[in-house]
A = this chain, B = another copy of it.
């Protein structure tokens, strides 16, 4: 699901456009997120960023994450009151998640058919579908030998 390897420059551009400084910390956090395929939480992002440069604090990670969310570069995944997890967000593509209830692993998938039905449901209720969130919780099917 990782197609856009240029988040860093994409963010740099967004910062420039919005008159926001592209700081050292923001660059590193952008890189960390770009290089993470595993939906890390804020603390994990902090640890990874901090390993690259110890000048980065958890507070900055939170502030930066929020900024990136506003720029639609980052997507927050809420998992039942626990720590929120994050993933890079590409402009063109949308996917949902299947969560392995045993391992916590998150698998991404795309299903247009469901998306279309969602739009239809919303319309029928008198709403324009603006966004949606869908998570499936599953148990791995073990192959019989």
Interface residues of A (CB under 8 A from B): 76, 78, 80-81, 84, 98, 100-101, 107, 109, 111, 113-114, 117-118, 121-123, 125-141
Contacts and interface: CB of A to CB of B under 8 A. Distances in A.
A132 B136 contact: yes
A119 to B, nearest CB: 9
Contacts of A130: 101, 137-139
Nearest to A76: B80
B131 A134 contact: no
5 contacts: A98-B125, A109-B121, A114-B121, A127-B136, A132-B134
Contact residues of A: prevailing secondary structure: strand
A80 B78 contact: yes
A136 B141 contact: no
A136 B129 contact: yes
